[in-house]
Amino acid sequence: MGLNEIIHEALLLKPQERYIIIENLVESLSQSDSKIEELWIEESLKRVEAIKNGSIETLTYEEVFGK
């Protein structure tokens, strides 16, 4: 069954049933991917270390957004 067929069939459902499908789809999008989360933690730690050892330059709020 293709995407268009799935959409067509879903539109034939009662509103309450469509709501359940929507709720489940939205929930599935907000679940975190553990590998992506792990990569972001690693990147964050690298950035903190780079700031601590002075290998990257930081900017103040005013430098970024103006006064």
Question: For 7-53, how does the pLDDT look when each residue is reduced to its tens digit (9 = 90+)?
Answer: 999 999 999 999 999 999 998 887 778 888 899 999 999 999 999 99
The reported pLDDT for the residue numbered 35 is 85
Q: Are 18 and 25 in contact (CB under 8 A)?
A: no
Between CA 39 and CA 36 the distance in angstroms is 5
**67 pLDDT exceeds 90?**
no
Between CA 17 and CA 11 the distance in angstroms is 10
Between CA 10 and CA 19 the distance in angstroms is 10
